[in-house]
Amino acid sequence: MRPVIGVISDVKARDGHVVHGVTEKYIYAVARGAQAMPVLIPGTISAVDSAMAPERIVVDEILSAVDALFLPGSPSNVGPQHYGDVPHDPPLPADPHRDDISLPLIRAALERGVPLFGVCRGFQEMNVALGGTLFQKLYEQPGRFDHREDSSLDIEGQYSPAHGVALTEGGLLASLAGDTTWRVNSLHGQGVATLAPGVVVEAQAGDGTIEAFRVPDSPGFNMAIQWHPEWRFWEDRLSSGIFTAFGAAARLAAERRRAGGRLKAAG
């Protein structure tokens, strides 16, 4: 059986309804790149008070049902109140229902060693969940270039490699790439302001923007990446290597979980 990877959903209003969903490219990358079964995890339900974070039992139930967690990108941003800031005026797109489930799940997954992979918004969620902060408008910071996509291009052009990153020598990404430099796409308006304590940088852009990190003290595989490795992952050695490594970690977690279940049944 393939491992089960929980994919955090966005929560959006559409045509008078509330929709929980994930863009297909992320589901495809989990299914084909990680060779896993993607299962969508909804955000907190709108009928419930959105100011209430999920009870611990909800987090426990989710982590008992999946072998790994994937945090995809999104047009929305992490609510700035989660890192001690106030919204810019006008406020940027938000998704409080996703925040309410993703932030406690990240902390719990890292505590337990559940394999965890965050992309774009997921990268930012991981930094915030661990105590870091964000620039709400990275492109307004002195010395930083504009990391947003060029809206005048078609989708292929927007996801084309946009700049280089330096991969940390001896890091996981450098080992997967077989090199210490790589070209990546760039489609984000926010970025790390203060890096969370206890993490190590895996990649950095030429303007100093942190592009990837991991938590070395967590007992399981984990990676946070600011660019979009899910886009045509099969055409890029580093991207395919990341999803392969994530899938391998999920399979190992699945084997351990099933072995534990057999032991409990025998006992």
Catalytic residues, by residue number, are 120, 228, 230
β-strands 68-71, 4-8: how paired? parallel
Contact between 106 and 152 under an 8 Å Cβ cutoff? The reply is no
Using only C-alpha atoms, what is the Rg of the chain? 18
- Rounded Cα gap, residues 181 and 164, in angstroms: 7
- Rounded Cα gap, residues 199 and 195, in angstroms: 8
